[in-house]
Amino acid sequence: MHIPIRTAIPNEAIEKDESNGLVLWSVIEEIIDDESFLIHLPTHRGLYYEFPLVRDFTVRFSTETSMFSFKALFRGVVRKDGLVMLARLRRISDIVESQMRRSYRLECSIYARILRHPEHSYEAVPTEKTCKVLDLSDNGACVVTSERIVKREKFMLAFDIDFFVAVECEARRVFRSNHPDYIHGVGCQFLDLDQKSQDRIYGYIMKVQIERRRLTR
């Protein structure tokens, strides 16, 4: 059973302030029982990380649509087949859903299309313009475009990630962009995204975030 997880280890000088903690990545190798499990011993700066012996820390793991967390304690190192170094951890709290905003937002650069309604495009038919999505979540996006969009304006946004998305949006924030190709910025909220599409966007964001962090390890 391999589940990407994140362990946030507080600095010794900071009293359990996980926002300033060290973030390590690993995978679960084996679940021993309801409380104990083995993970691949994570590395930090090229060396195996030495877990604190008495202090608890937070373990977070993700599924395709959700993120969960629990508190754990380090219970020793195990060597598997004489090669793989594993850490034995014990869960000491309940598993709770942990939907932090930073966990499901994605900085990106995705070409997209905006379809504006005639009353806002000053033409008899809807107009379609290219734009870029610079920030994506499962309930909205930050978009830059060459056309000025007014606050509360509704429009269709279409883009491709691992699948095609077309969703009606409402402009909740408008600003001047410093993007070299698009001068208008729009923070928009998705209005009619069904739960399946929302879950798929969330899964895509989690997948890309995990891939990026693995590349920077």
Regions in the chain scoring below 70 on pLDDT: 1-21, 62-67, 82, 98-104, 118-128, 216-217
Position 187 scores a pLDDT of 93
Q: Which of 53, 41, 47, 42 is nearest to 12 (CA)?
A: 53
Where in the chain are all domains bearing CATH 2.30.110.10? 4-103
Q: What is the pTM of this model?
A: 0.55
Q: What's the confidence (pLDDT) of residue 60? A: 78
Distance CA 212, CA 217 (A): 9
CATH architecture assigned to 4-103 = Roll (2.30)
Quick one: pLDDT at residue 170? 93
Give pLDDT, residue 205: 87
Specify the domain boundaries for CATH 2.40.10.220 within the chain: 106-208
Q: How far apart are CA 117 and CA 120, in angstroms?
A: 6
Structure tokens at 152: 């509360």
Q: What is the pLDDT of residue 4?
A: 41
Whole-angstrom distance, CA of residue 107 vs CA of residue 213: 13
The domain covering 106-208 belongs, at the CATH homologous superfamily level, to predicted glycosyltransferase like domains (2.40.10.220)
